A = this chain, B = another copy of it.
Amino acid sequence: MRHRKIKGAREMLLAHEDYAVAEDEAIGKDWDEFFGAQRPLHVELGTGRGKFITGMASNCPDVNFIGIELKEEVLLRAVKRARDKQLHNVAFIAGNGARLMEYFKAGSLERIYINFCDPWPKNRHSKRRLVHRGFLEMYKEILTQKGEIHFKTDNEKLFEFALNEFSDSGFRLRNISLDLHSSGFEGNVTTEYEERFAALGMKIYRCEAYL
């Protein structure tokens, strides 16, 4: 999907210094200090307009949430959403999910959320999928010993790929849903993308992978 470039989006974004952190500033940052409170840290890769992560932050005040999103003009919407909700336990990095290792210390994340990431359907691009075993090995480094990855997609092939990559990489699986919105799963926080696709009757796949 292409997004309209907003002139000066970067400046507008970084003006919200309570919520937005530039990529370079995120490197090696002390997140407890940033939030002014030591809490478990959950990170969403590709946070988009932030519906999911601000919803989670509302529901779980005892957790610090960080959303990572490359597109600054999209992230601006997420920042405004967090500000309008007056949330104090969520922030955003205008950066690249693949650079996670630079933003967080090894063993420091309790949970990583990957929601509706790019499926990269061609086999020769499989290494770019955020659930490829290359990334999973990286996540293992950065997760706590009991760390978890929560994964959602509307792409059946990507979900099949993810289940196998998780399993082969030594993650255990639980709460696997092949049709989330018709399952009995409770407490699901939707993304904007998810709402649109579920409304069209498309299946949503979800699982939790844990160490």
The oligomer's copy count stands at: 2
Closest B residue to A177 using CB positions: B160
Distance (whole angstroms) from the CB of A175 to the closest CB of chain B: 7
Closest B residue to A210 using CB positions: B167
Q: Which residues on the B side are within 8 Å of A175 (C-beta)?
A: 164
Q: How large is the interface on A (under 10, 10 to 19, 20 to 34, 35 or more residues)?
A: 10 to 19
CB of A6 within 8 A of chain B?
no
Is B174 touching A168 in the complex (CB atoms < 8 A)? yes
Interface residue from B156, B160, B164, B176 paired with A167 (Cβ < 8 Å): B176
CB of A172 within 8 A of chain B?
yes
Footprint of B on A, CB under 8 Å?
156-157, 159-160, 163-164, 167-168, 172-179, 183
13 inter-chain pairs at a CB distance below 8 angstroms, sorted by A residue, are A156-B178, A156-B179, A160-B177, A160-B179, A163-B176, A164-B173, A167-B172, A167-B173, A167-B174, A167-B176, A172-B172, A173-B173, A178-B178
New contact pairs (17) apart from A156-B178, A160-B183, CB-CB < 8 Å? A157-B178, A160-B176, A160-B177, A160-B178, A160-B179, A163-B163, A163-B173, A163-B176, A164-B174, A164-B175, A164-B176, A167-B172, A167-B173, A167-B174, A168-B174, A172-B172, A178-B178
